[in-house]
A and B are shown apart, each in its own frame.
Chain A
């Protein structure tokens, strides 16, 4: 399944018309200890670039933007009790939400692994 990244440090793994979204390892490192994750409601309609979730850390509250348009089908309920999963496993168990994609072909503005790695390397 292809995984893409945004310049805002979200990842999106696309499987046909479905996708899973989270934040990158780099992003969690910048945020520091994560204390709370406010997830979107299941069924919420997201527009690409919308603030869809908020991650609160010991440093600050940060928005997570929707990397694609679509509808939220599930959220990671485990984060309610263990928000630090986003620190320890941001690109696996610390995922944020699943969604159906309004347009699975719309990858405009998304970066592949090499492009994202280059972006982070330049920060």
Chain B
């Protein structure tokens, strides 16, 4: 157990590599209850406008039960947090990082108009069930759709969500996650979370997975981690998160940092987040300096051994004009590294239209 975002959390159970591989092959269960669950409600039109004033999201095209990745931005375009917004009946459900939750609450609360409410929901936890057999394991619990028109969990598409009932408890299930695999995130009352975790672990495909493998899984999936790959000094264009800047919002503006972000989109960023494949077996970690020849061109923002690739990989923030062939200073030694497209391994989401 290790301290993390004010919680005591398991780093590993069976070992990071074994848990990582299990998640890619079967299903890993993660307790991610450290993440913040926020409800923004009141007048929905006002609430949508208030959220759009904080992040470059397009809520006009977000249907009921739909969810979208977005970024809480500072006035200079720097990233204050990355998060997921889901449209519920009568409110927006926002899941934020644990370490940034308190700051996010203060930031959002200070910017909400009258008629819009903000609630930090602390009586619910969050479980993530991730991997190719996650759907089979969750379906086996027999969750009941809790509203008209809600499909069984196995029929949810990636980034779709809905309310369900399980043993008399109200759950909120979304087909999403942060491992690159198909899977689900389940918001569950704290009174029921242990029973739900136990029930899921009864399934032979499911094993518990700790923070260590969560990090190696998301790194292989090319997904940035706030506080490491994303910071207030990094804007969405440098972060290679252009997809999170909705088309309508690019044209209309009205979110913090619109000017600098549009300029970065037009001119190209001065530096950007890239993926690096390292030669040899020695891993480069956060803070390691990246060189093009003798010129320092950036820093590793997260890195480690990739169990699925059996080699070390890293994400780094480097000068946009950095070449593809680089070296990284690891403990005084120069390790050869090659820029590569992210993700390192293909995402296997259950996207709409898939079989």
**Looking at the complex, which one of A54, A59, A83 makes contact with B212 (CB distance below 8 Å)?**
A59
Chain A: number of interface residues, binned into ranges: 10 to 19
Complex alpha-carbon distance, A54 and B16, angstroms: 19
Whether B16 contacts A58 by the Cβ 8 Å rule is: yes
The yes or no answer to A38 lying at the interface (CB within 8 A) is yes
Whether B285 contacts A60 by the Cβ 8 Å rule is: yes
By a CB distance below 8 angstroms, the chain A residues around B16 are 32-33, 58-59
The yes or no answer to B17 lying at the interface (CB within 8 A) is yes
Knowing A54-B331, A59-B212, say if A33 contacts B17 (CB, 8 Å). yes
Q: Which B residues, 20 to 79, have Cβ-Cβ distances below 8 Å to chain A?
A: none
Q: Which A residues, 29 to 84, have Cβ-Cβ distances below 8 Å to chain B?
A: 32-33, 35-36, 38, 54, 56-61, 83
**Looking at the complex, which one of A32, A56, A58, A60 makes contact with B281 (CB distance below 8 Å)?**
A56
B281-301 CB mask vs A (1 if < 8 Å, else 0) is 111010000000000000000
- Shortest Cβ gap from B306 to chain A (Å): 10
**Minimal Cβ-Cβ distance residue in B for A83:** B281
The yes or no answer to B15 lying at the interface (CB within 8 A) is yes
Knowing A32-B15, A32-B16, A33-B17, say if A58 contacts B282 (CB, 8 Å). no
- Shortest Cβ gap from B44 to chain A (Å): 45
**Minimal Cβ-Cβ distance residue in A for B216:** A58
Given A54-B331, A57-B305, 6 additional A-B pairs, CB 8 A: A32-B12, A56-B281, A58-B17, A61-B282, A61-B331, A83-B281
User: Which A positions have Cβ atoms within 8 angstroms of B?
Assistant: 32-33, 35-36, 38, 54, 56-61, 83
